[in-house]
Chains A and B, each alone.
Chain A
Amino acid sequence: MNKLALCITSLHKEYGNGFQALRGVDIEVQRGDFFALLGPNGAGKSTILGIICSLVKKTSGKISVFEADIDDDFSLVKKNIGVVPQEFNFNQFEKVFDIVKTQGGYFGLPRKLSEKRAEKYLKLLGLWDKRDQTPRMLSGGMKRRLMIARALIHEPKLLILDEPTAGVDIELRRSMWEFLRKINEDGTTIILTTHYLEEAESLCRNVAIIDRGKIIQNTSMRELLRQLNTEFFVFDTHKKLIKLPRMDGYKGHLVNSSSFEVEVERHQSLNALFANLTAQDIQILSMKNKTNRLEELFISLVQPHEEKAEEVSG
């Protein structure tokens, strides 16, 4: 049995104004995966997702979802996909419950089953007490959750989320992560685009990075993070510091009188650094990773392309 949930081969998209949004994209997503599609604004992420769920017409290329080709059996493909778009796209005058229930009807679910599932997912996403309100009465975070409930009504095998936590506060974002982790553990394959790289790092096992319509990285999250050569740590100390402690082989600088920053290269061990500090009777109260690791890597991957483009255009 083919283990792929999604297979995209040589996908091209040229818009009517001649803009080439996608220039030969190849992506494979395994069944059960939690997959991140990352890239700067305008890189082509939403175009790919739009083509998969039929809101955008491809120029050329092949896409199959759970072995069904979108050109041959789009009906089956659509049954297997749930979509959470980037922009709110529900009827602002309909009630929350009706929005979710109606979506079930579009997928051919009998009314009773639609109602049961609508109740289930609205409860799971904490929206049950808002069921008789219209989306206009909901906060941004609630609207995002409503779109997730709507996308799950037919219990798709592949859930596509286009920036699902954009504009959502941190507490709510984390509860949505928990929810997504749970449905992924239950067997739903998830593809996610996000600008919060921390989100991708926390949730996703595999990742593709797209820039200017081309995939520039397609690997596991672990492998991607392994490419990081340097990490920055900030240490908080018990005693006040007058100057930067001696750290043989490590670069660093004093942040303030009770903390300092250290640059640790991949081949360096933190044990040696701690031994060094202990020898000087410096007690470390806490330690934190200064930057988002994936963010750093992302910038290093995308920037060379941007510089190259500037050279060409300049």
Chain B
Amino acid sequence: MNVREQWIAFVTILVKEIRRFTRIWPQTLLPPAITIALYFVIFGTLIGPRIGRMAGFSYIEFVVPGLIMMSVITNSYGNVVSSFFGAKFQKSIEEVLVSPVPSYVLLSGYVIGGVIRGLAVGSIVTCLSLFFTDLQVHNITITVTIVFLTSVLFSLTGFINAIYANSFDDISIIPVFILTPLTYLGGVFYSMEMLPKFWQDISMINPILYMVNAFRYGLLGVSDISVGWAFFMVAALCIVLFCYASYLLNQGKRLRT
């Protein structure tokens, strides 16, 4: 395939992905908006004022970046894992496998589809947050870049999960037992300063902590960790996972017998 044909194939996959999640918007866009709105109500209006200030900000101001990031992570991941596994399950993935689409184009199409869903939900959640607090942007470049990279990273993770998954149970194990705990313990709801030294050290191995803090830095200008290191880590993980997912596709892992 020449470059133009590859671009057409990429756009085809992307449009198909966007059409999929917009077609079923009551399952894909509405639930995260309601869930996060509830978080805003509980932490912003009910509990937040009693918790007091955190890192120099009101509690609702502090948790909004973390909650936006949480919705981006779960939706990027969820979009790719369910879409790709669904295609595997229905065997419609064979439509692409018998075509000349190179594996990196196929992967990019699914990943950017996941990114767009993540960013769409992130935007909805951001708009909702405006009903509860004023949103400031400390550094727009950092904010946009880190949210994009995080979205790419979790789309890739969802893709790899979908490749290995043999059943619908397999695609819910990672979100329930790994993603959710890491997100909740990734500094969404609290500052690292609140933890004892031992737990601070343990938290440093949680990659989501870096993404949440880098995003919070972009919006509020405060972070528990080095933003430069966070960028390096997320970008490096994106590259490693992209290469690994491409390798799995080229090998036909669980796709070709």
Q: Interface on A for B, CB 8 Å cutoff?
A: 15, 50, 53-57, 74-76, 78-79, 81, 83, 85, 87-94, 98, 102-103, 105-111, 150
Contact = CB atoms under 8 A, between A and B. Distances in A.
Contact of B90 (A15, A92, A106, A107): A92
Contact of B92 (A50, A56, A89): A89
Contact of A106 (B23, B86, B101): B101
B8 A85 contact: no
Interface string B114-127: 00000000000000
B109 to A, nearest CB: 10
Contacts of B19: 98
Interface stretch (B9-17, B136-144, B194-202): B9-17
B98 A93 contact: no
B181 interface: no
A9 to B, nearest CB: 21
B163 to A, nearest CB: 15
A93 B256 CA distance: 24
A72 to B, nearest CB: 14
A246 to B, nearest CB: 61
A78 B100 contact: yes
B91 A57 contact: no
Contacts of A89: 90-92, 94-95
Contacts of A107: 5, 9, 99-100
A136 B256 CA distance: 26
Nearest 10 A-B pairs (CB), nearest first? A108-B5, A105-B12, A106-B99, A89-B91, A75-B100, A78-B100, A91-B92, A53-B98, A89-B94, A108-B8
Nearest to B7: A108
Interface in B36-91: 86-87, 90-91
Interface of B: 1-2, 4-6, 8-9, 11-13, 15-16, 19-20, 23, 86-87, 90-92, 94-102, 252, 256-257
B95 A56 contact: no
B252 A57 contact: yes
B9 A106 contact: yes
B20 to A, nearest CB: 8
Contacts of B9: 105-108
B102 A110 contact: no
A94 B192 CA distance: 47
B98 A83 contact: yes
B257 A103 contact: no
A81 B6 CA distance: 18
Contacts of B11: 105
A85 B98 CA distance: 11
A75 B98 contact: no
Contacts of A85: 94
10 contacts: A54-B97, A74-B100, A83-B98, A85-B94, A89-B91, A106-B9, A106-B13, A106-B96, A106-B99, A108-B1
Residue with the highest number of chain B CB atoms closer than 10 Å, among A74, A83, A87, A106: A106
A42 B37 CA distance: 56
A108 B19 CA distance: 19
A18 to B, nearest CB: 14
Nearest to A101: B12
Nearest to B8: A108
Contacts of B98: 53-55, 78, 81, 83
A54 B256 contact: yes
A150 B8 contact: no
Contacts of B13: 105-106
A75 B12 contact: no
A102 B256 contact: no
A84 B4 CA distance: 26
Nearest to A73: B100
Nearest to A13: B257
A56 B257 contact: yes
Contacts of B90: 89-92
A89 B13 CA distance: 17
A150 B100 CA distance: 15
A108 B100 contact: yes
Given A103-B95, A106-B12, A150-B95, 15 more contacts: A54-B97, A54-B98, A74-B100, A78-B98, A79-B1, A81-B98, A87-B91, A89-B92, A93-B20, A102-B16, A105-B12, A106-B95, A107-B9, A108-B6, A111-B8
Contacts of A79: 1, 100
B1 to A, nearest CB: 5
Contacts of B96: 106
Nearest to A80: B100
Contacts of A110: 8
A74 B16 CA distance: 24
Contacts of A74: 100
A15 B257 CA distance: 8
Contacts of A88: 91
Given A15-B257, A87-B91, A108-B5, A55 B97 contact: yes
